[in-house]
């Protein structure tokens, strides 16, 4: 007995121990084992016991006392063992602090997960290259000044929920000073162990974030700050004798499994997915599994057994879960759960409770395995909570709006009162930390704003294509330094866009304010704008087929419905037009340019101080009187929808009769119901007449002269998707409405007084589309249009 140098009492030593763990306590005679180098005891049930006496064993290399119901403190001498490489005392009830006196410089793995340890993390524990898991403890708050948060330190520290103090978000995102949610989401989709993946679910494309790129530290916490989720993984595959562990599995070239299931994340002990900044409410959680590690052939069949527990929000929801028992090997399995989110966080934990097989022939892979997670709100609208909450949200929105406006105004005023000398410190009131890019980064990405990288000229300056170091392709919008409006617009854009995400809205990755440069970084859209896809006569462009056009139409409607009704900040876009709808590589439409978007303070129409929009798309009441409501966007959407069906530009196209424009013509056709004349002749017979007719009818409803008669965007979506039918509205022949509607077109003719025809005028509209009541010489005063046209 005294000669014993290795003592393994863990079920991780083999598959013999399946079922109940050992019965404690750990024999005290263990202290007599002077030559002990490797001690592993886990999963002991029984009364609480103190840390076993190990002071005599000076040659200890590995100490595992996991889940042994240990109480009391960790004796100081443990930290002084010179050869100690791995210390795992996770899942116990240990209290007290960590000794400052750590001599063992060979310590590489320290797992303290799930105890009640407190105090500071001593500097001496933070050894270069080590893996230290402090998650689920009661250490002093790991703020940005704490040694564990030092950047440039070459170690893996998992600080997930390592302290009880601080606000709940600081537990999840330690090392941040003012942890707060930039926005609240209402879903989570993760393709575990894989890359970003688009999956078709219930007729919608759902984008699953990937976690394959997360570092493979043994005790680690990683976050996806874009969508506010993270994962904490702990444990080391003890028996594989391989230093570099692999925590992802993938099945190559599998034709049998859907791609979501061909990758999986593994964990030796415990794996927690956490979604923070989630709206409170009830959620459906689907956990996706497929056993892709064990194969079906007889050699391994009897050896591989994977058993683990699943916890949701800290509650055990599945005990001794075994994928193979449920569906067999290599088959997909979806396990549904329901859960409530109260503190904006959702926690799904997979925990290996020491059962099943540890010694797997190929590699020590035995712990939990998960293929994907999807979380969706039970109530579709994601507007959770009673009326009171809505009121507070609206309150916050209004407060946010006021703040934004005050900041905008202050910054704007400061800049221009200082004779254009920019003071970028003004921006510090805006929290841009999470999405800041350095100028150097963007210069490298766009090859120093090389003219060959330029992909367009937006309203406020050129747009460049760039590639970040990690391969992400981006579009960088450079705000021209002379554009006065631009600066104000810039702040608006950041504040507003960063709050909003939807598959049909262009994503803002971040921004850069440095050296006289104001840059916005957007996701790159491979297929340019809807306008170029529809109207460019370039023959090399392939014609958009009808199915795509219909998809685009529905997509824009969804994006707008989200902006108007679903997002937390309700927004009127104000400048919906074909050039502001971008197309990604799969020709999905995304609405861009929220620069003009402003929060709508009131449900009711109000007179806006500043009119901005594009002629031909602007609702009459807005163009003429500055009355702004969601219905102004609905009108613009109607015009775009007509353009999609006809493939013609509302401004440029002059029908062969006495109509002023496309819309005018469409209204005339409404009387005779000869909608087919509108259809793009290039599509020939390949158009779905029924769908196209629906689009035209909806477009005509949307462009009704009276805002009250126009549907809301959610009604539009529902009509386009065929869930509600399109009401028959008598054609508007009333002079009043008709006049109003085409007044804007006629105005545009007057604006371009030097131009002799509408056709040539339209060509110059580009540079002059934005006008404003903040009158300056080169800008058109809307009031004056008003008088001229009546
Ligand atoms: C420890 O090992 C050494 C040799 O490796 C041996 O001489 C000694 O007796 C051992 N001590 C005990 C207490 O087993
Ligand atoms: C741990 O010890 C406490 C106190 O003796 C006991 O109540 C508890 O059941 C034990 N836990 C386990 C898992 O055996
Ligand atoms: C956490 O640690 C503090 C001291 O650092 C102590 O006062 C508190 O009781 C501990 N909390 C728990 C739940 O153990
Ligand atoms: C998967 O397919 C690729 C080519 O399609 C091939 O090069 C690779 O070897 C295959 N991998 C496996 C594991 O069969
Ligand atoms: C595994 O083997 C069983 C029977 O031996 C068979 O029914 C099943 O289809 C096999 N599964 C796979 C994924 O090959
Ligand atoms: C979740 O809740 C829905 C009702 O909203 C119910 O139909 C379903 O059975 C529940 N699922 C589970 C797994 O409890
Ligand atoms: C939510 O947070 C509050 C305050 O931070 C805390 O008192 C409460 O216990 C938390 N609730 C849950 C279920 O975590």
- Three state DSSP letters for 261-329: HCEEEECCCEEEEEEECECCEEEEEEEEECCCCCCCCHHHHCCCCECEEEEECCEEEEEEECHHHHHCC
Residues that are catalytic: 575
Least confident of 16-20, 196-200, 299-303: 16-20
Are the beta carbons of 70 and 47 closer than 8 angstroms? no
Q: Is the dihedral of CA 546, 552, 558, 564 positive or negative?
A: negative
On the question of pLDDT at 70 being above 70, the answer is: yes
Of 60, 150, 64, give the one whose Cα is nearest residue 113: 64
Q: Which CATH class is domain 188-377?
A: mainly beta
Q: Would you place residue 446 in the very low, low, confident or very high pLDDT band (cuts 50, 70, 90)?
A: confident
Are the beta carbons of 372 and 188 closer than 8 angstroms? no
pLDDT at 408: 53
pLDDT at 515: 67
3-state secondary structure of 221: strand
| 369-370 and 372-377 strand pairing | unpaired
Distance between CA atoms of 251 and 172, rounded to whole angstroms?
32
Q: How far is the CA of 249 from the centre of ligand 4 (A)?
A: 16
pLDDT at 542: 76
The CATH code belonging to domain 530-596+612-781 is: 1.10.510.10
**CB neighbours of 285 closer than 8 A, spacing ≥ 6?**
312, 336, 337, 338, 339, 346, 348, 373, 374, 375
pLDDT at 699: 92
Closest CA to ligand 5's atom 10: 296
For the segment 323-329, the average pLDDT, to the nearest whole number, is 85
pLDDT at 459: 60
What is the third-level CATH fold of 6-162? 3.80.10
pLDDT at 642: 92
Which has more pLDDT, 416 or 504? 504
Peptide bond before residue 549 is cis, with ω within 30 degrees of 0: no
Q: How far is the CA of 502 from the centre of ligand 1 (A)?
A: 68
Q: Which two tokens stand for residue 703?
A: 């462009």
Q: Measured from the CA of 284, which atom of ligand 6 is nearest?
A: 1
pLDDT at 654: 75
Task: Render pLDDT for 470-500 as a digit per residue (tens, 0 to 9).
Answer: 888 888 888 655 444 445 556 665 666 666 7
Q: Would you place residue 790 in the very low, low, confident or very high pLDDT band (cuts 50, 70, 90)?
A: very low
For the segment 438-456, the average pLDDT, to the nearest whole number, is 86
For the segment 606-632, the average pLDDT, to the nearest whole number, is 70
On the question of pLDDT at 414 being above 60, the answer is: no
Q: Measured from the CA of 93, which atom of ligand 2 is nearest?
A: 1
Least confident of 34-48, 358-372, 432-446: 358-372
What is the third-level CATH fold of 439-523? Phosphorylase Kinase; domain 1 (3.30.200)
On the question of pLDDT at 456 being above 50, the answer is: yes
Distance between CA atoms of 779 and 483, rounded to whole angstroms?
13
Q: What is the DSSP string of 25-90?
A: ---GGGGG-TT--EEEEE-EESS-BPPPP-TT-TT--EEEEETS-BEEPPPGGGGG-TT--EEE--
- Nearest ligand to residue 251 Cα: 4
For the segment 277-299, the average pLDDT, to the nearest whole number, is 81
pLDDT at 137: 92
Chain-wide mean pLDDT for the chain?
73
Which has more pLDDT, 346 or 421? 346
From residue 184, alpha-carbon distances to 343, 560, 567, 723 in Å are 11, 19, 10, 29
Distance between CA atoms of 292 and 358, rounded to whole angstroms?
16
Task: Render pLDDT for 519-561 as a digit per residue (tens, 0 to 9).
Answer: 888 888 888 889 888 888 765 567 889 999 999 999 999 999 9
Are the beta carbons of 653 and 661 closer than 8 angstroms? yes
Instruction: Give whichever of 82-91, 480-489, 763-772 has the largest mean pLDDT.
Output: 82-91
Distance between CA atoms of 275 and 669, rounded to whole angstroms?
52
Instruction: Give whichever of 233-237, 562-566, 636-640 has the largest mean pLDDT.
Output: 636-640
Least confident of 360-374, 508-522, 734-748: 734-748
pLDDT at 245: 59
| 188-191 and 204-210 strand pairing | parallel
Q: What is the DSSP string of 498-555?
A: TT---TTB--EEEEEEETTEEEEEEE--TT-BHHHHHH---TTSPPPPHHHHHHHHHH
Q: How far is the CA of 45 from the centre of ligand 2 (A)?
A: 7
CA 770: distance to chain centroid?
Answer: 32
pLDDT at 4: 59
On the question of pLDDT at 511 being above 80, the answer is: no
Q: How far is the CA of 256 from the centre of ligand 5 (A)?
A: 12
Distance between CA atoms of 101 and 94, rounded to whole angstroms?
18
User: 345 pairs with which residues across the strands?
Assistant: 276
56: buried, middle or exposed (CB in 10 Å: 19+, 13-18, 0-12)?
middle
Task: Render pLDDT for 146-170 as a digit per residue (tens, 0 to 9).
Answer: 878 876 666 778 888 888 876 777 7
For the segment 379-384, the average pLDDT, to the nearest whole number, is 50
pLDDT at 383: 38
Q: Would you place residue 610 in the very low, low, confident or very high pLDDT band (cuts 50, 70, 90)?
A: very low
Distance between CA atoms of 683 and 327, rounded to whole angstroms?
48
Closest CA to ligand 1's atom 2: 35
For the segment 659-665, the average pLDDT, to the nearest whole number, is 77
**Residues above pLDDT 70, as percent of the chain:** 69
- Nearest ligand to residue 46 Cα: 2
- Nearest ligand to residue 23 Cα: 2
Distance between CA atoms of 514 and 588, rounded to whole angstroms?
33
Q: How far is the CA of 119 from the centre of ligand 7 (A)?
A: 23
Pocket test for ligand 7, best of 169, 343, 344 (most atoms within 8 A of CB): 343
On the question of pLDDT at 42 being above 50, the answer is: yes
pLDDT at 419: 36
Does 2 contact ligand 1 (Cβ within 6 A)?
Answer: yes
3-state secondary structure of 571: strand
Task: Render pLDDT for 720-760 as a digit per residue (tens, 0 to 9).
Answer: 988 777 877 655 544 344 444 444 443 333 333 222 222 22
pLDDT at 425: 33
pLDDT at 739: 43
Instruction: Give whichever of 31-35, 487-491, 568-572, 768-772 has the largest mean pLDDT.
Output: 31-35
Q: Measured from the CA of 165, which atom of ligand 3 is nearest?
A: 1
Distance between CA atoms of 615 and 624, rounded to whole angstroms?
11
Closest CA to ligand 6's atom 6: 338
Task: Render pLDDT for 170-210 as a digit per residue (tens, 0 to 9).
Answer: 778 787 777 777 777 788 999 998 888 888 887 777 889 88
Q: Would you place residue 285 in the very low, low, confident or very high pLDDT band (cuts 50, 70, 90)?
A: very high
Does 329 contact ligand 5 (Cβ within 6 A)?
Answer: yes
Residues lining ligand 7, Cβ inside 6 A? 168, 342-343
Q: Measured from the CA of 342, which atom of ligand 7 is nearest?
A: 13
Pinpoint the alpha helices (H) of 70-185: 168-172
Are the beta carbons of 333 and 323 closer than 8 angstroms? yes
Q: Would you place residue 347 in the very low, low, confident or very high pLDDT band (cuts 50, 70, 90)?
A: very high
């Amino acid at each position: 007995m005294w000669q014993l140098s290795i003592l393994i009492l863990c079920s991780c030593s083999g598959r013999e121990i399946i079922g109940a763990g050992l019965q404690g306590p750990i024999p005290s005679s263990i202290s007599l084992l002077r030559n002990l180098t490797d001690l592993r005891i886990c999963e002991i049930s029984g009364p609480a016991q103190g840390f076993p006496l190990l002071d005599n064993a000076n040659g200890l290399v590995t100490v595992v006392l996991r889940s042994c119901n240990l109480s009391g403190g960790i004796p100081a001498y443990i930290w002084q063992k010179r050869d100690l490489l791995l210390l795992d005392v996770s899942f116990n009830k240990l209290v007290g602090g960590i000794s400052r006196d750590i001599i063992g410089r060979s310590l590489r793995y320290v797992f303290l997960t799930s105890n009640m340890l407190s105090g500071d993390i001593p500097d001496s524990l933070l050894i270069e290259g080590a893996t230290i898991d402090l998650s689920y403890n009661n250490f002093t708050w790991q703020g940005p000044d704490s040694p564990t948060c030092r950047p440039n330190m070459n170690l893996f520290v998992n600080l997930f929920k390592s302290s009880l103090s601080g606000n709940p978000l600081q537990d999840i995102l330690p090392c941040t000073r003012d942890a707060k949610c930039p926005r609240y989401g209402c879903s989570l989709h993760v393709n575990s162990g894989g890359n970003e993946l688009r999956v078709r679910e219930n007729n919608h494309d759902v984008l699953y974030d990937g976690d394959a790129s997360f570092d493979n530290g043994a005790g680690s916490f990683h976050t996806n700050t874009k969508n506010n989720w993270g994962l904490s993984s702990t444990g080391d595959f003890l028996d594989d004798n391989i230093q570099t562990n692999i925590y992802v599995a993938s099945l190559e070239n599998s034709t049998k499994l859907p791609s979501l299931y061909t990758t999986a994340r593994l964990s030796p002990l415990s794996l927690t997915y956490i979604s923070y900044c989630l709206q409170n409410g009830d959620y459906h959680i689907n956990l996706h599994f497929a056993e892709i590690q064990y194969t079906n052939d007889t050699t391994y069949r009897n050896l591989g057994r994977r058993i683990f527990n699943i916890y949701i929000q800290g509650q055990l929801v599945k005990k001794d879960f075994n994928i193979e028992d449920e569906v067999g090997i290599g088959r997909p399995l979806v396990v549904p759960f329901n859960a409530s989110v109260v503190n904006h966080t959702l926690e799904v934990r997979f925990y290996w409770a020491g059962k099943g097989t540890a010694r797997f022939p190929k590699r020590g892979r035995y712990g939990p395995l998960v293929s994907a997670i999807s979380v969706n709100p039970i109530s579709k609208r994601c507007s959770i909570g009673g009326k009171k909450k809505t009121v507070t949200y609206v309150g916050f929105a209004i407060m946010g709006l006021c703040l934004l406006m005050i900041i905008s105004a202050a910054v704007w005023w400061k800049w221009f009162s200082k004779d254009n000398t920019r003071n970028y410190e003004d921006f510090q009131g805006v929290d841009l930390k999470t999405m800041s890019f350095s100028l150097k980064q963007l210069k490298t990405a766009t090859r120093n704003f090389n003219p060959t990288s330029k992909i367009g000229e937006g309203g406020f300056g050129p747009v460049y294509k760039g590639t970040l170091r990690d391969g992400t392709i981006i579009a960088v919008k450079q705000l021209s330094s002379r554009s006065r409006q631009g600066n104000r617009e810039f702040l608006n854009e950041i504040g507003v866009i960063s709050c909003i995400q939807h598959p049909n809205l262009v994503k803002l990755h971040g921004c850069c304010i440095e050296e006289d440069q104001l840059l916005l970084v957007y996701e790159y859209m491979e297929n340019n704008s809807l306008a170029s896809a529809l109207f460019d006569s370039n023959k090399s462009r392939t014609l958009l087929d009808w199915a795509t056009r219909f998809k685009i139409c529905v997509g824009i409607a969804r994006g707008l419905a989200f902006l108007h009704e679903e997002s937390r900040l309700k927004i009127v876009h104000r400048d919906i037009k074909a050039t502001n709808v971008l197309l990604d590589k799969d020709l999905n439409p995304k609405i861009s340019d929220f620069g003009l978007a402003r929060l709508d303070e009131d449900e009711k129409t109000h007179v806006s101080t500043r009119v901005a929009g594009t002629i031909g798309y602007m609702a009459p009441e807005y163009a003429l009187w500055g009355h702004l409501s969601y219905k102004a966007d609905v009108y613009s959407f109607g015009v775009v929808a007509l353009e999609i069906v006809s493939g013609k530009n509302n401004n440029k196209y002059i029908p062969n009769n006495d109509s002023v424009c496309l819309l005018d013509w469409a209204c005339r056709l409404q009387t005779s119901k000869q909608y087919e004349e509108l259809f793009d002749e290039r599509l020939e017979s390949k158009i779905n007449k029924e769908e196209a007719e629906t689009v035209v009818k909806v477009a005509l409803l949307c462009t009704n002269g009276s805002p009250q008669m126009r549907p809301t965007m959610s009604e539009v979506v529902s009509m386009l998707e065929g869930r509600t039918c399109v009401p028959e509205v008598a054609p508007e022949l009333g002079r009043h409405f008709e006049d109003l509607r085409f007044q804007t077109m006629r105005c545009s003719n007057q604006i371009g007084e030097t131009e002799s025809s509408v056709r040539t005028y339209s060509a110059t509209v580009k540079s002059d589309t934005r006008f404003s009541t903040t009158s300056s010489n080169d800008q058109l005063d809307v009031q004056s249009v008003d008088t001229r046209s009546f």
